[in-house]
Amino acid sequence: MGTVILRRGLVALFAAAVSFGVVTQAQADTLRIGYQKYGTLVLLKAKGSLEKKLADQGVQVQWTEFPGGPQLLEGLNVGSIDFGVTGETPPVFAQAAGADLLYVASEPPAPTSEAILVPKDSPISSVKDLKGKKVVLNKGSNVHYLLVRALEEAGLKYTDIQTVFLPPADARAAFERGSVDAWVIWDPYQAAAEQQLQARTLRDGKGIVDNNQFYLATKPYAQQHPKVIQTLVEEVRAVGEWSKANPEEVTKQVAPLLGLPEDITRLSVKRQGYGALFITPETVAAQQKIADTFYQLKLIPKPLRIADVIWTPPAAVAKAQ
C-alpha cells in the first residue's frame, strides 16, 4: 500500500513538474510588447506582420498599451513586458532607478512632435513668461527634457517654474480647466490639443532637442533571445519606411486605432520620425548629455553611463571579431 501511495505521489510530482515546464516554456515563447498611443509599434500591431515572422520561430506576441514612457518602463522593470518604446527621457530615469534594461534601437529625431502649449487666449507669449507659472507634464517623459532645454534657452532656471506632474489625460483636464498655465506634451495628444482646443505652441523641440524614440528590452530577454529582437527591429524598420512613403494610408489606418479624427492623426503622422536603426555612438552621446543634465539638476540621484546599457546585435559582434 505504501509503495502504491509513493508511486502515485511520484506520478503527481512528475505531472506537476511537466505542467510547470509547459507553463515556463509558454512564457519563454511569448514576446510581451509595451506600446503607447502613437508611433510605429501601433502600425506594426495593426499590420500583424510581426506575428507571422515570429511564428516561424515558435514565438507568440502579446501587446499591452501604456499611457506614457515612465509607466511603460515600470512595466519593463517589474517584468510584465519584455520590449517597448519610449521617448528620450524615461530610460534615463529608469536606469537611475536600477531598471535592468538595454537600449536596442532608435527612430530618427522628431523635434516638432512635442511642444510646450498654452491656452489660445493665454497672455503668455514666450517661454520667458513662464517664470512663476504652473507647467504640467508627465514626470520623466520625453517632454521633461524639452522643458529643461527650453527654460535654459530662455535664460530661466528649472526652479523658476512650478511643475505639476500628471499623466496625459489628467494633464489635459487640468489644462482645459485653466488650473495650469502651460502643458508640455507629445503627439498625438499635442495635435489633439492644437486642433480641438486651439492651443498655441509656445516652443517645440526644433533646434533644442532631438526627441528620439527608443526601443528598449529587458536585459535578460535581449541576451537570451537576440534573434527575436533582431526580427522585431527589422519589422519596425520596414513598417516605418512604408509609413514614411504612405502618410495618407497610415492616417486612415491609425485614426480609428487612436480614436481620433483623421486631421489630428495626419498631423501626428507627418511629424513622426521613421526608420528604426540600432544604436549609434552619436545617439549614445546625445543620450549621455540628457543623463548628465538631469543629474546636475538633481532630478536623478546618481551619474549614469549610457554606454553600459546598449544592446549589441549578434551580427555586429561577429563582424567585430
C-alpha cell read off for 54: 515570429
Query: Rounded to whole angstroms, how far apart are CA atoms 288 and 309?
Result: 11
Instruction: Using DSSP, state whether 246 is helix, strand or coil.
Output: coil
Identity at 168, one-letter amino acid code? P
Is the pLDDT score of 53 beyond 70?
yes
Query: Rounded to whole angstroms, how far apart are CA atoms 111 and 95?
Result: 23
Query: Rounded to whole angstroms, how far apart are CA atoms 252 and 261?
Result: 9
Residue 37 half-sphere exposure toward CB, CA atoms < 13 A: 22
Closest by CA position to 313, among listed 276, 288, 258: 276
Answer whether 40's CB lies under 8 Å from 274's CB.
yes
Q: What is the pLDDT of residue 208?
A: 96
Q: Which CATH number fits the domain 111-204, given the four candidates 3.20.20.450, 3.40.190.10, 3.40.50.620, 3.40.50.300?
A: 3.40.190.10
The conformation of residue 230, written as its DSSP 8-state character, comes to H
Q: What is the pLDDT of residue 98?
A: 93
Q: How do residues 275-320 score in pLDDT, each as one tens digit?
A: 999 999 999 999 999 999 999 999 999 999 999 999 998 865 434 4
- Using DSSP bridges, classify how beta strands 60-65 and 30-35 pair: parallel, antiparallel or unpaired: parallel
Q: How do residues 140-175 score in pLDDT, each as one tens digit?
A: 888 999 999 999 999 999 999 999 999 999 999 999
Fold exhibited by the domain 8-105+213-258+276-320: D-Maltodextrin-Binding Protein; domain 2 (3.40.190)
Q: How do residues 171-187 score in pLDDT, each as one tens digit?
A: 999 999 999 999 999 99
pLDDT band at 10 (very low <50, low <70, confident <90, very high): very low
CA–centroid distance for 300 within its chain:
19
CATH 3.40.190.10 occupies which residues in the chain? 8-105+213-258+276-320, 111-204
Residue 41 half-sphere exposure toward CB, CA atoms < 13 A: 26
CA distances for 23 relative to 28, 82, 223, angstroms: 9, 17, 21
Question: Can you give the pTM of this predicted structure?
Answer: 0.83
Answer whether 104's CB lies under 8 Å from 138's CB.
no
Closest by CA position to 147, among listed 98, 181, 106, 107: 181
| DSSP H helix total and E strand total for the chain | 14, 11
Answer whether 201's CB lies under 8 Å from 115's CB.
yes
